[in-house]
Amino acid sequence: MNQQNNNPQNNQQPTDKFSLGQVLVFDKPLKWTSFDLVNKVRYMLKTNLGIKKIKVGHAGTLDPLATGVLIVCTGKKTKEITTFQDHDKEYIATIQLGSTTPSFDLETQPENFVDTTNISEQMVQDCLKSFLGNQIQYPPVYSAKKIDGKPAYISAHKGRGDEVKMRPNQIEITELQIIEWNDLNKCFKLRVACSKGTYIRSLANDIGKKLGVGAHLAGLRRTRIGEINLNSAILIEDFEKSLKSYQQ
């Protein structure tokens, strides 16, 4: 994919172009759900181009507190969504040691604080080696993973998370690299390359368990899906500007 796929301007009529199908790569804003972005794209297409009805969908959900690469497909290209979902992915995760959260990230408040004075970067490096390769991983209860036909987070938000039995996923993690280490706060940035179905929040929680001090995900940015990376991504504001140019 190249940048021109994100630019709605070419010789084809815009209404036909998006109905026939486009693959758009966005840098998802912080605190937006993936569905928020999809709904915004659909609304922009309808209001700026006068399209009355159009299919819009996304490949690979990002949590509200995550940013980065989100692929949005329109029209007939929505049939290719599962293909993009099957690709491997890469993230930059910020992991805070010494406390946990019920959601494994900052959607819920940190708790269970533990002294981390003795934890060194080398200890974390050694710990990370055990998470490489094929493995079984349990998704967070605060996730959209469906249990008995309902997203697990519904029960979690009602305080019934302990009643939910999460089913494990078979995943593969191919690369784990610490790219920044804060020894004072025992917080680090980790580059993660992994297969589909991998929950980085669960990885953070599991790393904390392995080290015996607890941990949670303090930030997440998806940098790649397959061969598509942030260099191909555009902001939703720029997409809107390009659509409005048709009205000039």
Q: Which tokens hold the place of 55?
A: 């299919």
- Alpha-carbon separation of residue 2 from 16, 29, 99, 160 (angstroms): 20, 21, 41, 45
Please compute Rg for the chain using Cα positions: 20
**CA angle (9 as vertex; 18, 47 as ends), nearest 5:** 55
Q: How far is residue 88 from each of residues 84, 95, 146, 232, measured CA to CA in Å?
A: 9, 21, 22, 17
Greatest Cα pair distance in the chain: 63
Query: Which of the residues 27, 63, 105, 206 is marked catalytic?
Result: 63
Other CB atoms within 10 Å distance of the CB of residue 46: 14
**DSSP calls for 17-28:** HHHH--EEEEEE
Sign of the alpha-carbon dihedral angle for 109, 103, 152, 141: negative
| Residue closest to 146 by CA, chosen among 159, 171, 163, 165 | 165
16 tagged catalytic: no
> β-strands 66-74, 215-225: how paired?
parallel
Type of residue found at 198: T
Question: Which tokens go with 21?
Answer: 């199908």
Catalytic residues: 63
